[in-house]
Chains A and B, each alone.
Chain A
Amino acid sequence: MSEMTYRDALNLALREELRRDPSVVVWGEDVALYEGSFKVTRGLLAEFGEERIRDTPISENTIVGVAIGAAMGGLRPVAELMTVNFALLAMDQIVNHMAKIRSMFGGQASLPLVVRMPGGGGSQLAAQHSQSLESYFMHCPGIRVAYPATPADAKGLLKTAIRDPNPVIFLEHELLYNSKGEVPDDPEFTVPFGRAGILRAGTDVTIVAYARMAVLALQAAEALEKEAGISCEVVDLRTLNPLDAETFVASARKTGRAVVVEECWRSAGLGGDLAHRIHEACFDSLRAPVRRVAGLDVPMPYSRELEKLCIPQVESIAVAVRDVMTASV
């Protein structure tokens, strides 16, 4: 084990997979010479050279499309979109092509490619640079969606994504890049897709979250234990597709109460789906309706004081937990 940041863990995953498999190539805007706008690709050009680590034009749709073609031709491209906001320019290649090619061609092609994209809000980058679009990707069959919360998962999930024979949307939270944690050194360490993690065991309430929301949920759980003696079980989804509903449904059945936390907009957000799965599967064991904590349905404002109202915070998660503790059916 070594202590490292989420950023360095991602960098290590890329480095190890580039070393292990010569068919892995990395490209995106400013990833080579500039070493990435969030420095996730630091040092890769120096170690692996111009043919494998490539800067691209600012052509998001084509960044993804070229990666699709390269994957069909036998490579394992890892494409970086500078942020998830710009993935909207690539939605045609992601949704109409990447997610469809295997199925519409009757299983004759496989697309082992990863599209990495930093995202999420909280840095006062205003409406066009603060979005959480995970529900968009989760909605679409044919692609896998991973979104790590911890440095260890950042490394293990990215390695799994690169080795996976399916196309993977790999989301990274911009506010987690500097977070630190213990990361296994073993170059064969991977984290399987479709298995949620229990970040904290508990008996009173289940909190279902992912990525930065899981980190905040954990902080809320610790405060609630200390201040109110409420024991929360925190489930980190790790991957949104495949979705490990079994783990959070079992947890909710055990505790009888659940709060679902999502950073994306509330309307048609993924939390509605998660909450519904809990209601449907354990209606009889629930002692209160499932609560949702979600982003506000507004374009993100710039001002710090307004922005923090729009993104779930430790406090808003704690309020929801106290609510389900007092509410009853």
Chain B
Amino acid sequence: MKRSTILFSLALTFASAGAAQAATLDDIKARGSILCGVSGGLAGFAQPDDKGNWNGIDVDFCRALAAAIFNDPTKVKFLPLTAKDRFTALQSREVDLLSRNTTWTSSRDTQLGFNFAGVIYYDAQGFMVRKSAKVSSALELSNTTVCTQSGTTTQLNLADYFRSNNMKYEAVVFNTADEVIKAYESGRCDVFTTDVSQIYAERLKLAKPDEHMILPELISKEPLGPLVRHGDDQWFDIVKWTLFAMLNAEEYDISQKTLEQRLKSDRPDVKRLLGIEGNYGEQFGLTNDWIVRIIRHVGNYGEIYDRNVGEGSRLKIDRGLNKLWNKGGIQYAPPVR
């Protein structure tokens, strides 16, 4: 009797696991929260504070999604993932999306079975060395030992760069960002390399940040953005347009401060964006005021940039390429129509 019940329920569990290919949005609504894969602890991008609250631009992006879906930015569960584990976690449905300073590359977009929703941060790979080493260019790094993290584009760009410049090097490859920076600090390596934004963040972990400098060469393009699995276009659209919404909001000067006032605007494009006209939100299975929710709870792109990595943060990274297209950068979102 008992045994057969167990058997039957087991069969059910597995059958439903097989059949649970339903829309991600429905899963999220049923679950009551978004599962968001983030970095394990990278200042400015995703880092828990002493109370366990997550902060960072990648974190805020997932909060924006929660605001859009649930009108509640706290309905996100953050899963810290190492560079090495992140893709299997997404493939195996452990998370609904990765918002984890991940570079958009062709193989990840195709072979690994993912779709990138856009670029939240245009980055590039750089090198950090000790000032005492007295080098001023990456081309002087021949015969060095370089610390880096496993399973990153960093590891591959590094090999490309040294190889194409005919420089000898030794790469010591670790699993987590903490291990990499510790090994660099201990003197195991002469050079620390990763995306420049992350060098800024990791440099803060060093005992004496001032004794280290970032070399001028940028050796790669690192467009970082959120990504989802192949096979669910609705969810892909939601993630993609949430990012666009935050960029468009900045472009139309809709921020946490100006929201109430902009809601009274009679410009048709602003009205469409804020769901006063048209059915922009319902097109994705959300409500029409979804962008209002995002701005109210989280803010526009400029705000989350500034708060987490820009002037309002410890990192103070210049916006550079990440300025809007009409302000001298390349951040550009398609129009709402």
A in complex with B: no
Residues of B at under 8 Å CB distance from A?
none
